[in-house]
A and B are shown apart, each in its own frame.
Chain A
Amino acid sequence: MSSGTASSGFGNFEDIDALAGEYVLGTLSANARAAVEARMRDEPALRDAVQAWEARLLPLASLAPPADPSPALWSRIERTLGSVAAAAAAAPKAGQPARASGFASWWNNLQLWRGLAAGGFAAAALMVAVLVTRPAPTPQYMVVLVAPQDKSPGWVIQTTSSRQLSLVPLGTIEVPPQKTLQFWTKADQWRGPVSLGLVKQGQTLRIPIDKLPPLEPNQLFELTLEPENGSPIDRPTGPIQFIGRAVKVL
């Protein structure tokens, strides 16, 4: 019973309507929020209760004073959309055409494939999306993490600004109860992988770059399935869920 285990963490809520209300209000802890989001996928009643609360409270959103986004934000969104569409187009199982034209040029770019093959690590599993539309001012790295079995892309890593690295989910990733995804990286010369932290379901993980050694071409990134609080030792213990290598984007 998924609902039984999921609700044990916040047994205070007698009815799902109260739980849905506090979820929408925003007062639940990160864990309780994640549990509600997981339950909503299987429990239409909870989903309906959440939507009803969203509709009831929506007028309150108008109490926040408007704030104009910086002009660069839309281009940043477009850039990410480009890489997401490219990753979707690259998925072998996705029979859908790319949303925008122009992806053929990067897909056929031999240099990229050479960079990939040099990795020597399950080269077939690696798929890299590149942003061709907007030359970046400084070298940036791009990684698409794919599932080892079916090669479907699950995450994109971007250096969205010079100061941070983002691990962006491309869809909803199911994680078994009492398990979590842990993010690791290892450059070619390193002795072992370094943990970059635990991944919250459906959320972008952001890591300040200045806390990492400089990124290197071909650097390995992976997500492994670990116990709820992460690997008990200093290296991955569970199966690899997603994996990819960094490619420099000029």
Chain B
Amino acid sequence: MACARGDRQALQQLYQRESRYLLGVALRIVRQRQQAEDVLHDAFISIWQRAETFNPARGEGRGWIYSVVRNAALNMVRSGARQVDVSEDAAEAIDDQAALAAYATAADPFELRADLGRLEGCLGGLEPARRDCILYAYVEGCSHGEIAERLQTPLGTVKAWIQRGMRALRECMA
């Protein structure tokens, strides 16, 4: 990566090229524009500081940058900046049967319109409920509790769906 050489201009080019996509990723997770811009600010400082230790052999530069932004956004929401968590107990108490019935009638919240390559096939192979848990978590930054609330599904079920879904994804993409 060009900014591994400490080139400020390269960082700016990177910003110009990627910032609207990176801000989109952050915004979906933290939900508030000012906070999303804070995330992007912190992430670019971090990218600049860590660029010299960044090893392109370990992974694609672009992917690393997205990880820096996602981690900054997730750290922000997990440390309580986004106060929408339902308590785990409350989520656990949601009635199983009613929950599943409600879920079955809900519209599919994710359209897999982007080109996701091999991942798309593997996601498509998952049961829709497991797939949606994974997407709610990755794209929207939802915690287990938030997903349970959205899907009106007990927390334990959500956790199990995610664990099994992730295992299936890993096997599918191996």
Residues of A at the B interface (CB closer than 8 Å) are: 17-18, 21-22, 24-30, 33, 51, 54-70, 73-74, 76-77, 80-81, 84, 99-100, 160, 168, 170-171, 200, 202-204, 206
Contact = CB atoms under 8 A, between A and B. Distances in A.
Nearest to A76: B41
A22 B162 CA distance: 9
Interface residues of B: mostly helix, strand, loop or mixed? helix
Contacts of B114: 59, 62-63
A59 B119 contact: yes
Interface of B: 6, 8, 11-12, 15, 19-21, 23-25, 27-29, 33, 36-38, 40-42, 44-45, 48-49, 58-60, 63-64, 66-67, 70, 72, 74-76, 78-80, 110, 112, 114-117, 119-120, 134-135, 137-139, 141-144, 147, 162-163, 166-167, 169-170, 173
A70 B37 contact: yes
A28 B71 CA distance: 11
Given A25-B137, A30-B79, A74-B12, A18 B163 contact: yes
A73 B45 contact: no
15 contacts: A26-B142, A51-B58, A55-B60, A55-B63, A59-B117, A62-B115, A65-B24, A66-B20, A66-B21, A67-B20, A81-B8, A81-B48, A160-B41, A171-B49, A204-B38
Contact of A22 (B38, B66, B166, B170): B166
A60 B135 contact: yes
Interface residues of A: mostly helix, strand, loop or mixed? helix
Nearest to A17: B170
Given A18-B166, A74-B15, A206-B38, A64 B75 contact: no
**Residue of A51, A64, A74 contacting most chain B CB atoms (<10 Å):** A64
A70 B40 CA distance: 11
B86 to A, nearest CB: 14
Contact of B41 (A25, A64, A80): A80
Contacts of A55: 59-60, 63
A145 to B, nearest CB: 16
B59 A54 contact: yes
A51 to B, nearest CB: 5
**Residue of B38, B41, B48, B58 contacting most chain A CB atoms (<10 Å):** B41
A195 to B, nearest CB: 16
A67 B79 contact: no
A64 B64 CA distance: 17
A69 B20 contact: yes
Given A168-B42, A170-B49, A26 B74 contact: yes
Contacts of B167: 18
Contact of A204 (B20, B42, B163, B170): B42
Given A30-B75, A69-B40, A81-B48, A60 B166 contact: no
Given A22-B162, A69-B40, A99-B6, A64 B24 contact: yes
A73 B60 CA distance: 25
